Amino acid sequence: MRRLLLVTLLFCFASGLGQAAGKKAAPPPVQRYVVFFQEWSAALDQAAQAVITQAADYAKTNPQHFVHVAGFADPTGSQKANTLLADLRMQVVIDQLRADGVPAAHIIGRGHGAVQPADSSQESRRVEVSFGAR
């Protein structure tokens, strides 16, 4: 019985390898960078600058990808204030990416306003930089 199970498993494994060889490889995972901000601030600290520099370096070495920049705020305060703050944070990151040599035509920005924090409000005060198709 054990031999039959072993042979069946080997056959299934071998069949899977044959099928995988005929298929295209999966695309590599999309690179993502996160810039965090202090409460009610859009100022970039040294840690944020370092993250943006890494993202800009990736963008310059992968010009086939567009840079997607998404701004967020925590839910403290009014909806309008949080929308404006998320947009401002997004724009500050875009401006720094451009200063670091990323062409403006390759950057797509979008503010999302306030989002509920997953673990802490710090996680909501962020800008995400990711890469992909337009």
User: What is the residue range of 51's domain?
Assistant: 32-132
Q: What total of structural domains would you count in the chain? A: 1
Residue 23 placed within a domain = no
As a whole number of angstroms, the distance between CA 89 and CA 114 comes to 12
pLDDT at 55: 98
Residue 92 placed within a domain = yes
Residue 1 placed within a domain = no
Residue 9 placed within a domain = no
CATH number of the domain where residue 124 is located: 3.30.1330.60
Residue 88 placed within a domain = yes
Question: DSSP secondary-structure letter at 111?
Answer: E
Show the DSSP H helices in 23-106 as ranges.
46-61, 79-99
- Cα Dmax for the chain: 68
pTM attached to this predicted model: 0.76
Residue 90 placed within a domain = yes
Residue 18 placed within a domain = no
Question: DSSP secondary-structure letter at 74?
Answer: -
Residue 14 placed within a domain = no
Mean pLDDT of the chain, nearest integer: 83
Residues sharing a CB contact under 8 Å with residue 38, sequence separation 6 or more, in sequence order? 45, 125
As a whole number of angstroms, the distance between CA 1 and CA 8 comes to 11
Q: pLDDT digit string (tens) for 66-114?
A: 999 999 999 888 999 999 999 999 999 999 999 999 999 999 999 988 8
